[in-house]
Amino acid sequence: MKKSSIPRRSFIRKNATLMAGLPLVSAVPGKMLFSESKKVKLGLIGTGGRGRGLMGTFLSTGGVEFTAICDIDQKALDLGQKVLADRKQPKVKEYLGEFAYKKLIDEANVDAVLIATPWDLHTPMSVYSMKGGVIAGCEVPIAYTMNECWELIETWEQTGTPCMQLENWSFRSDNLAILNMIRQGLFGTMTHAHCSYSHDCIDHWYFERGTGNTRWGAQFLVDHNRNQYPTHQQGPVMSWLDINNGDYYDSITSTASDPRSIYEFFERNFPDHPNGKKKYKQGDIVTTVVRTKKGKTIVINFDMQSPRPYDNRWTVQGTKGLYNEQRDALYLTGVSPNYHAWEDFPPYHEKYKHEWAKTSFGGHGGADGIMANQFVKSVQNNKPLPLHLYDGVLMAAIGPLSEMSISGNSVQIKVPDFTKGKWETRKDYFAPNK
């Protein structure tokens, strides 16, 4: 272990008991660990396409330097080094192999790691990072099973090491503007939201484009019937409806349509391919309905196999009006000029633009850059990470909870309280507009 990392990690472990008892803390309390001008040393675990995208975005903040990268594929590591070279950054230490991430966390001179690997590796890598005293930013979903959800929370409580799910849609400029409007009371008392992850991923995520051969995600469709990718939908909704700070999920029910799109995809494109003959559990469309402790409702859709354009279908409803992302419009009673008619949202977006969104860059409409900026600033200034681990785990838990409901013929499932009651007294913390 490099000498410069010892004080930081020792300080985290020394204060773990104190940190576990705090309802809101997700960064190390006490003395400053980094000056604002000092660059954060990052390690990247997973140098595939998403990992390299994150590398470029975080470098664009100007507040980081990468000191180590890790992957199971030498070609992916080479491409990671190329990203650095193209940015005129020095070549960094490489770790190659299935468990090489442990050596990176143990040995490399890093303040934090970014984890961009397949889903089933997210929790083991995040847990190992927390236990090693290294701040973690993990791609979505941060957990795949209920056991993993609890393991993450329990590890954070034991170690106090900050860990955040990198849910970038929480940081979209339009979603942050809606959050501002909600906090200023324009929509009244919030009552309902609808959200979806509707993205045709059959020919590039689950199976190779042009060949139909299996990619890493395909096995999940064979083994499970659930909301496979539940976080992008929920990210902004959780802050809009005060989930984890004033309200909490009480119960869910989930229903899945039959799996048809995968089979027809192979019939159209690769009629003799063995992947078209497999038995898939995953239904085409999963619809989950949440009821919160305070009586709000949320509809969460999953649709990643049907041929369709990308869509999130966010809607949020209050007692004074609603916002609809598909229409890019809203209606506010007593404010909108035409009675019960949609009003264009862009002028409101500009008027209520969040302070964070005034500097945006990178992928996903600039949301990646906003997220990276806030993550880096939090580490530099020893502040809570912009999204709490409570949020990441609850978002991810919709995956296994939806599977339980579907397997029980859409039975109602109670949602476990990962905060252990803290949601009742926790205050707004995400995206303060100061």
Dist CA 303 CA 267 (whole Å): 20
Dist CA 205 CA 200 (whole Å): 9
Q: What average pLDDT does the segment 232-251 reach?
A: 98
Q: What average pLDDT does the segment 253-280 reach?
A: 98
pLDDT digits (tens, 9 = 90+) for 276-311: 999 999 999 999 999 999 999 999 999 999 999 999
Q: Each residue of 370-389: b (16+ CB within 10 Å) or e? A: bbbbbbbbbbbeeebbbbbb
**pLDDT number for residue 433:** 74
Q: What average pLDDT does the segment 44-48 reach?
A: 98
The DSSP result for 312-357, as a single string, is ---EEEETTEEEETTTTEEEETTTSSSTT--EESHHHHHHT--GGG
Closest CA to 356 of 186, 272, 196, 236: 236
Q: What is the dihedral of CA 378, 383, 387, 389, to 10 degrees?
A: 120
The yes-or-no verdict on residue 40 having pLDDT over 80 is: yes
Contact (CB, 8 A) for 113 and 135: yes
Collapsing DSSP to helix, strand or coil, 272 comes out as coil
**pLDDT number for residue 365:** 85
pLDDT digits (tens, 9 = 90+) for 181-195: 999 999 999 999 999
Residue partners of 166: CB distance under 8 A and separation at least 6:
54, 114, 137, 138, 139, 140, 371, 375
Dist CA 18 CA 432 (whole Å): 25
Report pTM: 0.92
Tally the residues of the chain.
434
pLDDT digits (tens, 9 = 90+) for 212-221: 999 999 999 9
Q: What average pLDDT does the segment 2-28 reach?
A: 38
Dist CA 308 CA 288 (whole Å): 20
Dist CA 347 CA 344 (whole Å): 7
Residue 362: pLDDT band by 50, 70, 90 thresholds?
confident
The yes-or-no verdict on residue 5 having pLDDT over 80 is: no
Which domains are assigned to the chain? 3-169 (3.40.50.720), 170-355+387-424 (3.30.360.10)
Closest CA to 329 of 318, 345, 316, 313: 345
- Provide the residue type at 389 as one letter: L
DSSP annotation of 63 reads S
The yes-or-no verdict on residue 30 having pLDDT over 60 is: no
pLDDT digits (tens, 9 = 90+) for 58-104: 999 999 999 999 999 999 999 999 999 999 999 999 999 999 999 99
**pLDDT number for residue 25:** 34
Counts of helices then strands in the chain (DSSP H, E): 14, 15
Please, what is the average pLDDT of the chain? 92
Is the preceding omega at residue 141 within 30 degrees of 0, hence cis?
yes
The yes-or-no verdict on residue 24 having pLDDT over 70 is: no
Dist CA 164 CA 174 (whole Å): 22
Q: Which helix (H) or strand (E) holds 250?
A: strand 249-256
pLDDT digits (tens, 9 = 90+) for 142-172: 999 999 999 999 999 999 999 999 999 999 9
Q: What average pLDDT does the segment 380-406 reach?
A: 97
Closest CA to 417 of 245, 227, 249: 249
The yes-or-no verdict on residue 424 having pLDDT over 50 is: yes
**pLDDT number for residue 12:** 45
**pLDDT number for residue 434:** 65
The yes-or-no verdict on residue 11 having pLDDT over 60 is: no
The yes-or-no verdict on residue 105 having pLDDT over 60 is: yes
Dist CA 51 CA 32 (whole Å): 29
Say which range, 54-63, 118-127, 338-347, 356-365, has the weakest mean pLDDT: 356-365
For residue 43, what are the β-bridge partners?
68, 113
